[in-house]
Chains A and B, each alone.
Chain A
Amino acid sequence: MVRTMRLYACLLLALPLVAQHGRYLNESKNPAIGNPEAIAAGGKLFNGSCAGCHGRDGAGGRGPNLVRRALWHPLSDDAIFKSIRDGVPGADMPPTKLPDDQTWNLVAFVHAISGPAFENRNPGDPEAGSKVFWGSKAGCSNCHSIRGKGGRMGPDLSNIGGSRPLAVIREAIVEPSKDLFLLGNEAVTVTLNSGETIKGVARNRSNYSLQIIDRAGTLRLIDMAGVKDLAVSSKSPMPDGYAQKLTSEEMTDLLAFLARQALRTAEDTYSRGKN
């Protein structure tokens, strides 16, 4: 069981990158895509005609969660258009008869909720969210780094807004153990034959070797022939309970801040930048 869950975790870990890539290659030129008015209009339509099956904001119900689905089944804008227009034959997804412009508004909405958070206008105050992230109440930066500052135990968040949809980021914070993005992040305790005990996060491990970031934040390369005992936690090292711990305003601001974290953003580029 543990094994299959880990495999699943591994898939999830690897796929978002592929998903992003697929989308970028197939970006549509339709003016509705990325247009805030079109997205808002599409959102209204969605909540009327689609949310019954796909849930509010595509979070899933009778039909699939459209945000997560896009991680492993990325669709080009044209393919989303086709799915909405024609339905998915053989599945429980009906065709629609909306005119082209309204259908494109829907595509723009689906694109926005399943695309990187950075591409959208998000609610909340990123400045205030920055204080939540770097502050001691949430303690995010004890474990996570952004552009070289912060902790070394959790994944780097320098590009979290540039690589994940907002709903996925929210889920990672609110329900950290839900999908076990654990491979590469397992909390482990190793006892060596010498008696030394090392606690840390396993970046990788096999029956023969172990690569962990130890308590001092140092990468340790360990030979399993020298290991007496290995304990692996099945829970995420990321704390539970942020939904209760943070006010909803803090959470919204934090998400707005994380959504802004993207590499290769406009102010970075040579042609437009300060350079």
Chain B
Amino acid sequence: MNRATTTLLALFAITASAQVRYEDLLKGPGADWTTYAGNYQGWRFSPLDQITAANAKTLVPKWVYHVPNARGLRSSPVVHKGVLYITNANSVYALDGRTGREVWRYIDTRAKGGGVNRGAALFANRVYFTTGDNYLTALDRETGAVVFSKQFADPSKGISSTSAPLVVKDKVIVGSAGGDSGMRGFVAALSAETGEEVWRTYTIPAKGEKGSETWGELIEWGGGATWLSGTYDPELDTLYWTTGNPWPDFAPGTRKGDNLYSCSLLALDLKTGKMKWYFQFTPHDTHDWDAQSWPVLIDLEWRGQPRKAVLHANRNGFFYLLDRVTGEFLRGTPLIDKLTWATGLDDKGRPVLIPGKDPTPEGNWVCPSVKGATNWMGQSYHPGTGLLYVLTLEQCGFFSTSAQTPQPMKNFSGGGATEEGGQVILRAIDPKTGKRAWEYPMTGAGRMWTGTVSTRGGVLFSGDDDGHMLALDAKTGQHLWHFNMGELLTASPITYEAGGKQYVAIASASAVFAFGLYEPAVSVPVKKVTP
């Protein structure tokens, strides 16, 4: 062993010290962007202000990283100390945030189930992500080395995993996907240290349990997937998680009743997973209207009283304001204009149905479409403007039933639905009134899944329905800048700072792009490399 090696050996035995602590996650974004939605409240808001409404017109692309074999990336990056982490199915890539150069990659070649992955989580010196076949894998943040990889659910029961985990204190909270082919949804807390299960709360009751009377015989396969990460209130020590549709999606005859706790918002105790309350947006859903987007936590004044509230822009076409301590329904307003299945919500928040809107053998035309008035696209709340920015979709579609008997895990949803055309409109909603402050209509075919991030610099970044990245004035919705990314956008942007400069990053279908303010290039002489 030569001397150089010996020195290195001694030096490299030391572990890196830069830890992501719970306190850092509590603080929310700054230079770093450490959780899927930025902060625990689900704001997707950044205090960075180098890029402003005044200078956004000088934004330029800074780097692009093509994720190997990626098609339709759904991942929203997380960033810590200048390193950006992006996921694809069963893989994580660590990139230098200033240059897009790869630092390491981890690909789990044996994972079964490709599909979608929405992102990673950071805690301590680790990156966490889940595989399509439900392994929670913890990797060393700096080297990509495996710390543990532990399976938390059985893929042979129709369960897969797509959401970015959420780390709170010593727990990694994971969800379950697969609700459209029959499965039993859950939210689970796993130990951040070992991946061992701490608790698991099912979103659908077992036969005989309270709530099971709202189901029929297919209750074990009732769905209620938890497709997306949730939010967390540190004071109340409560997690807010939404649940997906009941299964079979379009064959409601097999499941007479409200089908608890599908299409709902659940308030769960962080320590035990116990359900504190639930609110069901769409009882007995027949249109695959998962309660898809995450719940946004804000405090506001309601009828002269301060309230801890939770906002929810729902796929069913309504925008909800609830009390997040009790789950009390405060207000519901239409999120979209084309809404044909309910006349409104009653004083408990239950939809007032228009009869004859269920799927039929020949197809029933209903608005919103199966894709919904909004979906899992990243919404953003700006504490300065006081506005919530939501990508909404004015789209209608056919909903049909099938004569076949539903069979779990055969991906048989008991019928079908169409989701073409319509228009995507980015809407700025005032949570205090439920009214729209402004809106930004887009061109496109209604196929995007992209979302937003807003900044103290007064800029709202969003993808559009035509493959463009946009910068809008967060106050007025005025267009400031756009860039054609050349592909359908299916992921949401974030913003971070590296090397003292602000960047905005977003995944396109196949690559990660980072944008920043224009600066003239500095010539870099080629270094002679000495041996």
Chain A complexes with chain B: yes
Task: Using CB atoms and an 8 Å cutoff, list the residues of chain A in contact with chain B.
Answer: 17, 20-21, 24, 139, 142-143, 145, 147-148, 151-153, 156, 158-159, 162-163, 184, 187, 199-201, 203-204, 206-209, 211, 213-219, 221, 223-225, 227, 229-234, 237, 239-241, 263-264, 268-271, 273, 275
| 27 A-B contacts (beta carbon < 8 Å) | A17-B109, A24-B110, A142-B13, A143-B9, A147-B146, A147-B147, A148-B147, A156-B140, A163-B109, A187-B4, A199-B7, A209-B99, A211-B96, A213-B143, A215-B14, A217-B142, A218-B142, A221-B103, A221-B499, A223-B499, A227-B527, A230-B530, A233-B4, A264-B110, A264-B135, A268-B149, A273-B151
Choose one: B13, B135, B142, B146; the contact of A148 (CB below 8 Å): B146
> Does B148 contact A148, Cβ atoms closer than 8 Å?
yes
Residue interface mask B91-112, A partner, CB < 8 A = 1: 0000011110111100111110
Q: A156-B144, A211-B101 are in contact. Are A239 and B5 (CB under 8 A)?
A: yes
| Cβ of B403 under 8 Å from chain A | no
A231 in contact with B529 (CB, 8 Å): yes
Q: Mark B156-184, 1 if CB is under 8 A from A, else 0.
A: 10000000000000000000000000000
B96 touches A270 (CB 8 A): no
> What are the residues of chain B within 8 A of A208 when measuring CB–CB?
99, 524
Q: Tell me, yes or no, whether B477 is within 8 Å of chain A by CB.
A: no
Closest residue on chain B to residue A163 by CB atoms: B109
- Which B residues lie within 8 Å of A148 (CB)? 138, 140, 145-148
Nearest CB in chain B to that of A216: its residue: B14
Q: Return chain B residues, CB-CB under 8 Å to A151.
A: 9, 12-13
Task: Tell whether, in the assembled complex, residue B527 and residue A204 are in contact, meaning their CB atoms are under 8 Å apart.
Answer: no
- Pick from B15-23, B304-312, B378-386 the stretch touching chain A: B15-23
| Contact of B134 with A by CB under 8 A | yes
Q: Within the complex, what minimum Cβ distance (angstroms) separates B530 from chain A?
A: 5
Say whether, besides A270-B134, A270-B152, A223 and B98 are in contact (CB < 8 Å). yes
Digit string of B1-44 for contact with A (CB within 8 Å is 1, else 0)? 10011011101111111100000000000000000000000000
Which residues of chain A have C-beta atoms less than 8 A from B81's C-beta? 219
Q: Which of B457-496 contact A (CB under 8 A)?
A: none
Contact B145 A156 (CB under 8 A): yes
In the bound complex, CA of A80 to CA of B361 (Å): 52
Say if the beta carbon of B512 comes within 8 Å of chain A: no
Residues in B neighbouring A225, C-beta threshold 8 A: 522, 524
B residues less than 8 Å from A187 (CB atoms)? 4-5, 8
The docked-state distance in angstroms from the alpha carbon of A162 to that of B150 is 16
* Contact across chains for B101 and A204 when beta carbons are under 8 A apart: yes
Query: In the bound complex, do residue A231 and residue B151 qualify as a contact, i.e. CB atoms below 8 Å apart?
Result: no
The CA of A219 and the CA of B101, in the complex, are separated in Å by: 13
Could you tell me if A268 and B151 are in contact, using CB atoms closer than 8 angstroms? yes
Does B83 have its Cβ within 8 Å of any Cβ on chain A?
yes
> What's the least CB distance linking A70 to chain B, in Å?
15
Q: What separation, in Å, do the CA atoms of A207 and B524 have in the docked complex? A: 8
Residue from B12, B146, B153, B154 in contact with A213 in the complex, judged by beta carbons closer than 8 Å: B12
Which residues on the B side are within 8 Å of A230 (C-beta)? 527, 529-530
Is B98 in contact with A209, judged by CB distance below 8 angstroms? Answer: yes
How far, in Å, is A140 (CB) from chain B's closest CB? 11
A152 near B15 with CB under 8 A, answer: yes
Which residues of A sit under 8 angstroms from B102, Cβ to Cβ?
204
A162 to chain B: closest residue by CB: B110
Given A145-B145, A221-B96, A230-B530, 12 additional A-B pairs, CB 8 A: A24-B109, A142-B12, A148-B138, A148-B148, A156-B140, A158-B145, A199-B7, A204-B102, A207-B527, A215-B8, A232-B529, A273-B151
Binding site for A on B (CB under 8 A): 1, 4-5, 7-9, 11-18, 81-83, 96-99, 101-104, 107-111, 134-135, 138, 140-154, 156, 197, 498-499, 522, 524, 526-527, 529-531
List B contacts of A275 (CB < 8 A): 151-152, 197
Task: Specify which chain A residues have a CB less than 8 angstroms from the CB of B11 in the assembled complex.
Answer: 199, 214-217
Whether A152 contacts B154 by the Cβ 8 Å rule is no
- What's the minimum C-beta distance from B445 to chain A, rounded to whole angstroms? 34
Complex-state Cα separation, A199 to B11, whole angstroms: 9
**In the bound complex, CA of A239 to CA of B3 (Å):** 11
Give the docked Cα–Cα distance between A213 and B141 (Å).
12
Give Cα A223 to B521, complex, Å.
Answer: 13
Shortest B103–chain A CB gap in Å is: 5
Contacts of B150 in A (CB 8 A): 268
Whole-angstrom CA separation of A255 from B156 in the bound complex: 34
Do A221 and B17 touch (CB < 8 A)?
Answer: no
Q: A199-B8, A227-B527 are in contact. Are A152 and B142 (CB under 8 A)?
A: yes
| A130-B423 Cα distance, complex, nearest whole Å | 61
CA distance A237 to B5 in the complex (A): 6
Query: Closest Cβ of chain B: how far from A98's Cβ, in Å?
Result: 33
Q: Which A-chain residue is minimally distant from B15 (CB atoms)?
A: A217
> Which residue of the partner chain A has the closest CB to B111?
A264
Q: How far is A184 from B104 in the complex, measured between Cα atoms in Å?
A: 8
A213 to B125, CA, bound (A): 14
Is the CB–CB distance between B12 and A143 below 8 Å?
A: yes
Are the C-beta atoms of A231 and B531 separated by less than 8 Å? yes
Chain B contacts for A158, CB-based, 8 A = 145-146
Minimum Cβ distance to chain B for residue A125 (Å): 24
* Residue in A closest to B197 when the chains form the complex, CB atoms: A275
Give every chain B residue within 8 A of A142 (Cβ-Cβ): 9, 12-13
A24, A145, A214, A219 interface centre (most CB from chain B within 10 Å)? A219
The docked-state distance in angstroms from the alpha carbon of A105 to that of B146 is: 36
Q: What are the 8 tightest A-B residue pairs by CB atom distance, in nearest-first order? A: A156-B145, A153-B12, A215-B11, A148-B147, A219-B142, A158-B146, A270-B151, A218-B16
Measured CB to CB, the nearest residue on chain A to B107 is A17
> In whole angstroms, how far apart are the Cα atoms of A175 and B131 in the complex?
35
Contacts A147-B147, A187-B4, A268-B151 given; does A153 touch B156 at CB 8 Å: no
Tell me the minimal C-beta distance from A261 to chain B in angstroms. Answer: 10
Whether A270 pairs with B153 at a CB distance below 8 angstroms is: yes
Contact A152 B143 (CB under 8 A): yes
Q: Do A271 and B156 have beta carbons less than 8 Å apart?
A: yes
State whether B526 touches A217 (Cβ < 8 A). Answer: no
Q: Give chain A residues whose Cβ lies under 8 Å from the Cβ of B108.
A: 263-264
Contacts of B107 in A (CB 8 A): 17
**Bound Cα distance from A198 to B107, whole angstroms:** 30
Measured between beta carbons, the chain A residues less than 8 angstroms from B82 are 221
Residues of A within 8 A of B527 (CB): 207, 224, 227, 229-230
A204 touches B103 (CB 8 A): yes
Contact of A233 among B12, B109, B153, B531 (CB under 8 A): B531
Contact across chains for A213 and B140 when beta carbons are under 8 A apart: no
Q: A211 CA to B81 CA in the complex, in Å?
A: 13
Q: Which residues of A are found within 8 Å of B96, using beta-carbon distances?
A: 204, 209, 211, 221
Instruction: Find chain A residues with CB under 8 A from B97 CB.
Output: 221
Closest chain-A Cβ to B333's Cβ sits at a distance in Å of 43
Residue of A nearest to B7 (CB): A199
Complex-state Cα separation, A163 to B14, whole angstroms = 27
Give the residue of B103, B134, B531 whose beta carbon is less than 8 angstroms from that of A232.
B531
Shortest Cβ distance from B99 into A: residue: A209
- Residues of chain A within 8 A (CB-CB) of B8 are 153, 187, 199-201, 215, 237
- Neighbouring A residues of B147 by C-beta, 8 Å: 147-148
Give bound CA distance, A230 to B525, whole Å. 13
